[in-house]
A and B are shown apart, each in its own frame.
Chain A
Amino acid sequence: MDFPEDLKYNRSHEWAREDDGLVTIGISDYAQDQLGDVVFVELPAAGRKVAASEAVAVVESVKTASDIYSPADGEIVEVNTALESNPELLNEAPYGDGWMFKLRPSAPEALADMLDAAGYRAAIEEDS
C-alpha cells in the first residue's frame, strides 16, 4: 500500500497536499481499498465555506457511504468533476486523477495537525 511521503494524512483517511496556498484533498490508498469499488462521489459546490472536520463530500461503494471531512477551515475553490462520470478514478489513482477538491484555507499552517506518512501508517496499524 502506497502512502507518498510528500502528503499529509488524517485518521479519517483523507490526504492533503499544499501548493501555493491551495490544499488538494483526496482519500488514501488504504481508504479506497477498504471501500472497494467506488460507484459514486458526491462533491461539494465550489465557493462553499467549510470548517475543519466538517463532512463535505461522500464516497459511495455498492454497500457503503463514507463521509469525507475537510482538514481545515476555508473555502472550496475547485472540485474534480471527472469523478462524476468516472468514480473509479478514486480506486485507480487515489493520489492522482482521483483527487477530490481544492480548498483555500482561511489561516496559514492549516495542515499542521495532520499526520505525516509514517504517522498515518502507524495509525492504520493501530486500528486494524
Chain B
Amino acid sequence: MNYTPHTEEDVTRALAAIGARSVDDLFSAIPVELLDPPIDLPSGMDEVSLLARMRQLAEANARSSTLMGGGLAKHFIPSVVQHLTMQSEFVTAYTPYQPEVSQGILQATFEYQTMMSELTELPVSNASMYDGASAVAEAALVAVRHTGRERVLVSAGVHPETREVLATYLGPLDIELTTVALDDRLSTPRLQVGNDVAAVLVQQPNFLGYLEDMEPLAEAAHAAGALFVSVVDPLSLGLLRPPGSYGADVAVGDGQTIGNPLYFGGPHFGFMVVTEQLLRQLPGRIVGQTVDVDGRRAFVLTLQAREQHIRRARAKSNICSNHQLTALMATVNLAALGPEGLCEAATGSVAAAHQLADDLAGEGYRVRREANFFNEFVIELDTVESDKDALDPVELYSASRAAASALAARGVQAGIPVPSEYGLNRPALLLCATELTSAEERRRLVRAMSEVVPVSAGTGGRR
C-alpha cells in the first residue's frame, strides 16, 4: 500500500502539463548506472497484515514493571495527557516558523518553559532537547564557552550513559573530562576544583539513587570560578530542593519521568534551564512573548541569531529541532497533576521505594543505605561466587546480569546490574519503585528474589 492519491488519469494529466513522457523520465538527471539498484525489501503489506506483524513483534517482548529505573521509570500518566497531545494539530505540525498560524505550539512551549523554570527555580529554559544525556553534553559546552576553560569535572554519580555521551561530545574539541569516583556511601565526595575547570556536573539523585549534598558541591565549583551543572530527575523536584536554590547555574536532565511512556528508551526529551547570565549561550530553540500589530499577546521563536540556520559554522550548537511533542506531553501532564499531584507522585515513589528496601532488608538482603535515597537504591547479592576472595569486575557484572535475567525468567522485570566501575565487591542490582508500585508487585519481587538469590547466613546481612 502507499498513500499517494494519484489516479492513472492524474499521472497522465500531470505528465502532459510538465511535458514529460513518463514518471521514469523525470529521473533522467540521475546517471543511468545509478538507477534502479537491487534493493532487498519484502513486498508491501495491507493494514491488517501490517498490524498482525507489528503485534507479533510486540508480543515477543515482556512488559516492563515499575521496578526498573536507571534514568527512566514508569510513572502515572493520566489518560487525558495522551488524549490531548495526540491531537492532529500537535502531532503533524512542523516547527513554528509562521507564528501567526502556530500559536498553539508556541504558547504551549512558553508554558513548558515556565513550568521547567518553576521546577528548577532557574529563570531561562529552552524549548527542550533530544534527551537527558545529550542535554548534559550541551550543558558542559555552555560552560566551556562561558568560562573559556577546557576541563570538565563529572561525578561518577552521573548516569554512565550520560557520561559516555559527554565524552563523545567533548573529545573532538580537546576538552578534558575528569571523573570523580563515588565514596563509600555511594555519593559524591567533597571536591577539589581546579581553576582550569569550566563546569562541575553532579546528578541528583545520583545514578544509584542516593541523594547528594549539592550545596557544598556547588560552592566548591563557584569558588574555583566554574559553573555548577545539576543533573536532575524533574519528578523529584516535586519534593527535593530545586537547583536554583543551591546555586546551580544550569539544571539539565531527561524529562521522561514527567509524562513520557518508556518506549524502550525514547523518544523522550532533554531539558536545560539556566541563569540569566547564560541566556546567550543557551543552545536550541527558545520561545518568547511579544505582541502582534494589533497589540495582542503572542509568542514567537526568539533569539534565533544563536542558531545554526543563521550562524552556520558559528552557531552555539548544530541542534535544529526540539523534542516538542514529548515536551508537550510533560506540559500537559504537569498541568494535569498540578503542584499537589506532582508532590504526591514523588512522595508515592519515595514511599514505595523505602517500603521495598525495608521488605528486602527484612528478608536479610543487603540494602545499601549509608546515604539517603529517593526512589532507587542498590542491593548487594550474596551468591556462591561472592564467597571467593576476589571476584574480578567482569565476573561480578555477569553475576549481576544473571540475577536480573533469573528474575525476568520468573516474570519479574526488576533490577539493573550495577556497572563494575562502582567498585562494589558483590554482584549488585539497582532497584526502583514509583507511585505506581503495588504491594503485590513488591511481594512478587521479594518472592522471586528468594528463589534467585537465597540469603546466605554466612556472608549475608540478615539483621
- Which residues of A come within 8 Å of B, CB atoms? 39-40, 42, 60-65
Contact = CB atoms under 8 A, between A and B. Distances in A.
A65 B311 contact: yes
A46 B310 CA distance: 27
A66 to B, nearest CB: 9
Given A63-B305, A64-B305, A65-B311, 15 more contacts: A39-B305, A40-B280, A40-B303, A40-B305, A42-B280, A60-B305, A61-B305, A62-B304, A62-B305, A63-B304, A63-B310, A64-B310, A65-B305, A65-B310, A65-B314
- Interface SS of chain B: helix, strand, loop or mixed? helix
Nearest to A39: B305
B171 to A, nearest CB: 26
A60 B310 CA distance: 10
Nearest to A42: B280
B126 to A, nearest CB: 17
A60 B305 CA distance: 6
A42 B280 CA distance: 9
Contacts, number: 18
Which of A39, A64, A65 neighbours the largest number of chain B CB atoms within 10 Å of its CB?
A: A65
A105 to B, nearest CB: 25
- Interface SS of chain A: helix, strand, loop or mixed? strand
A42 B316 CA distance: 13
Interface in B304-338: 304-305, 310-311, 314
A39 B310 CA distance: 14
Nearest to B302: A62
A76 to B, nearest CB: 15
A90 to B, nearest CB: 14
Contacts of B314: 65
Nearest to A67: B314
5 contacts: A40-B280, A40-B305, A61-B305, A62-B305, A64-B305
A40 B310 CA distance: 14
Contacts of A39: 305
Contacts of A42: 280
Contacts of A65: 305, 310-311, 314
A64 B304 CA distance: 8
B286 to A, nearest CB: 13
Nearest to A45: B148
Contacts of A60: 305
B133 to A, nearest CB: 29
A62 B305 CA distance: 7
A63 B310 CA distance: 7
Contacts of A61: 305
Nearest to A59: B305
Contacts of A62: 304-305
Nearest to A64: B310
B268 to A, nearest CB: 31
Contacts of B311: 65
Contacts of B305: 39-40, 60-65
A37 to B, nearest CB: 12
- 7 A-B pairs closest in CB distance: A60-B305, A65-B305, A65-B311, A65-B310, A64-B310, A63-B310, A63-B304
A61 B310 CA distance: 10
Contacts of A63: 304-305, 310
A42 B314 CA distance: 13
Nearest to A55: B314
Interface in B263-312: 280, 303-305, 310-311
A42 B311 CA distance: 14
A3 B314 CA distance: 31
A115 to B, nearest CB: 27
Interface in B354-384: none
A98 to B, nearest CB: 18
Interface in B37-92: none
B303 to A, nearest CB: 8
Contacts of B310: 63-65
Contacts of A40: 280, 303, 305
Nearest to B315: A65
Contacts of A64: 305, 310
